[in-house]
Amino acid sequence: MGKLAFLFPGQGSQYPGMGKELADKYPAARSVFTEADQALGFSVSDLCFTGSEDSLKLTANTQPAILTVSVAAYRVLAEKGVRPDFVAGHSLGEYSALVAAGALEFADAVRLVRRRGEYMQSAVPEGVGAMAAILGLAPVQVAELCRKAAGGQVVAPANLNSPEQTVISGDAAAVKHAVELASASGAKRAVMLAVSAPFHSALMLPAQQQHDVDLRKTTFQTLRVPLVTNVDAEIITSGDEARESLIRMVTLPVRWEESIRELVEQGVNTFVEVGPGRVLTGLLRQIDRSVHVFNVEDEKSLNSTLERLAQAQSEAAET
């Protein structure tokens, strides 16, 4: 068996009831929810287990909720003795990855992302910014369409997710114009996304400046597991590099396809998506179909992943 990487999801992976099964069955998961509730002074548990889809969609709620479910799933895997060789997280997921790597205390991380969500929410008035997904055009084509659509406004690639999928972000009118150009240029799909702010764009600068202050007050340790950053798609191991990456990430694009290719180059051939949903699993299949990909978000997926990892190990031992 080659190397193993844990991938942690970002916004858009949330759903009502997420994490409840793991918390009910595993004390290691339950304690993460308890810690989040105490750190924030409100019930993240209730938000995840019984909250509505609408309340989970609010950025200031989404970010701590996904982080908590992801870390809960990670703690159960760790308790079962599954340790990654590398970690990476998609946007918000980089915080979960840093907690897993031992660089950031969970209580610090959950408070940071709660405030990060609030800053992002207030950086741009609702309706002023937007995001859209462009499918079936090469990333360079999408970047060129954004340049044509800008007209003095902000619109640029925000998530370079796979060869097939680029998400763009910026001023609503410019994003809509880029969507129209993409459709006319033969995109398979070009759709506006139901998000509350134009993430990973220059419009997020006020949020970046506020978040910078919080991050500089937070202690970051040396990583016990190397991490591939969103902003540079490069491997880091120092706490200072981790902090700088999180600061820059607020306004810069997520270089996800490059991050995955870097992990494959490092010898990773097995990936586990740790946390709610299977968004990253889908993207991974678009990037490299030769690798193994599993996920852990509930009891069934946990057992299936543990079984398949054990099987892969025994097969590797036989060869």
Q: What is the dihedral of CA 250, 252, 253, 254, to 10 degrees?
A: -50
Q: Which residues contact 80 (CB under 8 A, 6 or more apart)?
A: 306
Catalytic hit among 91, 196, 245, 259? 91
Between CA 18 and CA 27, with CA 24 as vertex, the angle to 5 degrees is 115
- E strands within 137-184? 155-160, 165-171
Strand 165-171 vs strand 155-160: parallel, antiparallel, or unpaired?
Answer: antiparallel
Q: Is 200 annotated in the active site?
A: yes
Which one of 200, 201, 259, 301 is the catalytic residue? Answer: 200
Placement of tokens 């810690």 in the chain: 35
- Displacement of CA 192 from its chain's centroid (Å): 19
In angstroms, rounded to a whole number, what is the distance separating the alpha carbons of residues 10 and 253? 13
| Helix, strand, or coil (residue 139) | helix
Annotated catalytic residue 45: no
Active site residues: 91, 200
